[in-house]
Structure 1
Amino acid sequence: MSELHVDMGYCSDLLFRLLKIPSPSGYTDQIVHFMGDQLNQLKVPFELTRRGAIRANLKGELGSPDRAIVAHLDTLGAMVKGFLPNGRMRVVPIGHWSSRFAEGARVTVFRERGPARGTILPLKASGHTFNTEVDAMPVSWDHLELRVDERCHTSADLEGCGFQIGDFIAVDSNPEIVNGFVNARHLDDKAGVAALLTAVKAVLDSGIALPVDCHPLFTIFEEVGAGASAVLHGDVSEMIAVDNATVAPGQNSSEYGVTIAVMDSTGPFDFHLTRKLVRICEAEEISFKRDVFKFYRCDAASAVEAGNDIRTALVGFGVDASHGYERVHLDSLEAVAKLLANYMISPRIFTRDKKEMGPLKGFPTQPT
C-alpha cells in the first residue's frame, strides 16, 4: 500500500469555505479567485482560460502523455426572468433542477448596485389566505416567484431598486455537519473540488514523484453542459471526472466509499482506465462500488464532444438527493481523495497513448 496521507481536516474546512461562495454557472469569478489562492498556497502553478476555467500543472518524470482530473466549480442557480405587478419577480433555473427544491430557498440576487437578499416562494404561499389551494400548486418554475427584502410592491418599485432582467440568483448552501454527514446544497460538485485538492495536497506532502505530468482541472460551466470543452490540450491522453454518485433506489452507488461509474447517459467510459481505477481500489483497500447512471452527464462528455481523443472515467462521492438538499459522508470524500492521489502516482496505462495516431502494434485488447 502507498504511504499517502489524506488530510480530512483540510478537506472538510475547504469544503465549507467553498460552499459559502456563490457560484451559479455564469457567475463564477469569485470562486475562481478563491481557487487560485488555494493553489498558490500549495505552490501549484496554474493558468486560466479566458472565461476562468483553471488548469493546474503537477510536473512528473515524463511530460507526455499527460493526465487530467477534473471537478467543476459552478453550481445550480437561477436568473430573474421578469417583474410581476405585485413587486415580486419571475425566475428561471440555471442548470437542470426541480422547482420543488427552490421553494422556500433563501437567495442572493446580484444586481449592479450590490447584492440583495430574498426568498423563492410558490405563487400561493399562505395557507391562511389560500387554504387547500396551497397544496394544489403545481411543481413548476412557472408557479414560483422571488420575494426580495426591499420595499417593492410594484414592478416600478423593482426597477427603482435597481433590479434588472437577467440578474443572477444564487441559492444559499446552508451547510451543516452531523456525525460525519455534510448536509448542504451544491455538494455537486464542491465536494468533488475539495476531494481533488485534498488529493493534490496528499501527493505534494508525500514527496512521491509523479510518473507523468498531471493536470487538476476546475471547470465553470459543467451544470449547463460546456464543462471541460476548452481547458484541455492535445497532450492529455486520459482524464478522470470527479462528480456526485447518486445514492438512490435502483442505484449501486456507495454512500461511504467511492463509486466508479462504468457508463452514464452519454455512453460507456473507457474500459481500460475504469479497470485501472478498480485495481487501485483493490490494492489500496479503498471501499468502492460500480454503478451505471441513466440520467447523468459530466465533464468527460463535454471534453470528448469538443473533439478530444482521450480515455475518460468517472469517480463519484455518494450523494443523497442530488440537485436538491444534498448529503455526503466524509468517509466517501476520503475514499475519493485516496483513489485520486494513488492514481496520480501510478504508472501510465499504455506507452502507445503518447501518440495521437499510431499503428495497430501495441494497441490493447479486451477479454474475450
Structure 2
Amino acid sequence: MSLVAIDIAYLARVLQDILAIPSPTGYTDEIARHVCEELEQLGIEYELTRRGAIRARMKGHSPKAARAFVAHVDTLGAQVKFLKDNGRLELVPIGHWSSRFAEGARVTVFSEKGAYRGTILPLKASGHTFNDEVDTLPVSWRTVELRIDAYAKSAEDVKKLGIDIGDIVAVDPQPEFLDNGFIVSRHLDDKAGVAVMLATLKALIASGETPMVDIYWLFTIAEETGHGATSILPPDVASLVAIDNGTSAPGQASEEFGVTIAMADQTGPFDYHLSRKLAQLCRDHEIKHQKDVFRYYRSDAAAAVEAGADVRTALITFGIDASHGYERIHMHALRSLAELAAAYALSPLAITRDTRNFSGLKGFTHQQVEEAEQTLAPEVEEPEPEAEE
C-alpha cells in the first residue's frame, strides 16, 4: 500500500486559522466551534461533550478494536490573580510554563465587559529607572505583571473596566511561516497536532480507502492542565495514538524533521506492540523517524490510562525547539506525521484478540525473550615477538 497524498497547503492553512483563535485551557469554546465547522466541511460526523471536547468518527469495516487519534486544542495562558494598587494585574500561569517566556508578551485579557489588550512586563521594566536591577530581578510569576492598554492607575480603575480576578489571559502566538518550511510561533503545542489530524482526515477521504476498523478523531480541551482524553474515549477503542510535540533539545533524540516516536514519558512506557508497529510502518513506507524518551512530559494518552482506560497507547510527535516557549517546528515533520497516521489508519488489524475487552490466553501477544544472535568479532593475530639481538 502506497502512502496517501497529504495536502500541505490545507495543513498550513488550518494551522494558521487555529493559531489565530485564542484558546487557553478553560477558554476553548470558539476553537471547538471552529474545529467542528472544519469537520462538517470534510463531511465527518462528530459529537461534542458538555464542555466542548470533540469526538469524530470515520467508519471502517468493523466497529470492534477501533483506533483513535487524539490532539488537544487548548494552550498555555494565564489568569488574573490579583488587582494591584498600581492598576496592574498579578498573574498565575495556566499550564506549566516559565514567566521567562511571558516577559514582553502581548496578550488579551477577557473580561465580562469585553477584551482588553496588554503586555506582560517584569516588575522592574525600565532600564532608565532601575539600571542593573532589571537584570538581577528573579524569574518567577510573582515578578511579572500585566499592564493593560487602558486607563488604569489603581485597582478601582481596573474594576471600572470590568476586569476581575479569575479573568483569562491569552498570549499572542505571533506565527511566522517561512518559505524554507520552518514555522515559528507560540502554541504550536498542540495546534500543529490538531492540524495534522485534520489534514490526515482530508487525505483519507480523498483516497477513497475504507479502514479495517472505525477510526475516532478526538480533540481535547484540557491537556495542559493534565485532564487529557479522560472522558471522551469510546469503549470500543483498543488503541489510542496521541499526536503532540517532541522536545528537540540537548540530551533528546527528537528532531524537527520526520516523526519522533516516544517510547516513554514521565508516566512510563507506551504500549510495546503499538509503538513498534508505528516504527515498522515508518520503515515500510520510508518515513524518516527516530525514537525518544521524555522525562518531564505527559500527554492525552497518559491521562486516559490513568483514568482507567484499557487501551494500547502510543505517542507520535513533531520535533519542537523551545517547547512551552518561543516554539519552532518544520513542515517536514507535520507532513511525515500525517503520512504515518494515514498509514496506521489503513493498516490491517494485527491483534484480533483486541476486538474483545476480556478473553482467554488464546491469541494473547508475545514479547521478545530470545537472546539475540551475536556476530563474533574476527580473531586478531598476535604480533610475533621481536627477536632479541
Where on the TM-score scale, by shorter chain, does this alignment land: which range?
over 0.9
Q: CA deviation at 1:228?
A: 0.3
CA contact (8 A) 1:247 1:319 kept: yes
Q: Is the 8 A contact 1:3 1:206 kept in 2?
A: no
Matches within 5 A, 1:282-361: 282-361=283-362
**CA root-mean-square deviation:** 0.7
Residue correspondence of structure 1 range 7-46 to structure 2 within 5 A: 7-46=7-46
Q: CA deviation at 1:3?
A: 4.5
CA–CA separation in structure 1 for the residues paired with 2:329 and 2:137 = 31
Query: For 2:344 and 2:3, how far apart are their aligned partners in 1?
Result: 13
* Alignment partner, residue 384 of structure 2: none
Residue 38 of structure 1 deviates from its aligned partner by: 0.2
Q: Give me the whole-angstrom Cα distance separating, in 2, the residues matched to 1:47 and 1:280.
A: 30
Structure 1 residues 17-55: Cα deviation after superposition (integer angstroms, max 9, x where no partner) = 110000000000000000000000000000011111100
| Aligned residue number for residue 129 of structure 1 | 129
Q: Which residue does 1:181 correspond to in 2? A: 182
8 Å Cα contact 2:230-2:304 kept in structure 1: yes
How far residue 349 of structure 1 moved from its aligned partner, in angstroms, is: 2.6
| Mapped partners of 1:256, 1:232: distance in 2 | 30
Deviation for aligned residue 1:65:
1.5
Residue aligned with 1:203, SS: helix
Partner of 1:110 in structure 2?
Answer: 110
Q: Aligned partners of 2:221 and 2:16: how far apart in 1? A: 19
User: How many residue pairs get matched?
Assistant: 368
Cα shift readout 1:282-326 (whole Å, capped 9, x = no counterpart): 011100000000000000111011111000000000100000000
Counterpart Cα distance in 1 of 2:231 and 2:210: 28
Structure 2 residue identity aligned to 1:59: K
- What amino acid maps onto 2:153 in structure 1? H
Indicate whether 1:197 and 2:198 are aligned.
yes
Shift, 1:156, TM fit: 0.5
Alignment partners' CA distance in 1, 2:15 and 2:314: 23
TM-score for both structures, normalised by structure 2 = 0.94
Query: For the residues of structure 2 that align with 1:39 and 1:177, how far apart are their CA atoms?
Result: 24
Task: Give the TM-score taking structure 1 as reference length.
Answer: 0.99
**1:315 is aligned with what amino acid?**
I
Q: Partners of 2:125 and 2:349 in 1: how far apart?
A: 57
Hey, what's the Cα distance between the residues in 1 that align with 2:217 and 2:224? 19
Conservation of the 8 A alpha-carbon contact between 2:23 and 2:31: yes
Question: Structure 2: where are the runs of 5+ without partners?
Answer: 370-389
| 1:200 counterpart letter in structure 2 | L
Q: Deviations over 1:234-270 (max 9, x none)?
A: 1111000000010100000121110000000000000
Q: Name the CA distance, whole Å, in 2 between partners of 1:349 and 1:111.
A: 52
Matched AA of 1:10: Y
- Give the equivalent residue in structure 1 for 2:57: 57
1:145, distance to aligned residue in structure 2 (A): 0.4
1:273·1:349 contact (CA, 8 Å) conserved in 2? no
Q: C-alpha displacement at 1:60, in angstroms?
A: 0.2
Q: Alpha carbons of 1:319 and 1:362: their partners in 2 closer, same or farther (altered >3 Å)?
A: same
Query: Corresponding residue for 2:234?
Result: 233
Structure 1 residue runs without a partner (length 5+): none
What residue number does 2:47 align with?
A: 47
Separation in structure 1 between the aligned mates of residue 100 and residue 170 of structure 2, nearest angstrom? 16
Partner-residue secondary structure (3-state), 1:229:
coil
User: Following superposition, which runs of at least 4 residues in structure 1 exceed 6 angstroms of deviation?
Assistant: none
Larger Rg: 2
- In structure 1, what is the equivalent of residue 153 of structure 2? 153
Report the alpha carbon displacement of residue 211 of structure 1 after superposing the two structures with TM: 0.5
The 2-side partners of 1:323 and 1:221 are apart by 15
2-side partners of 1:233 and 1:14: how far apart? 26
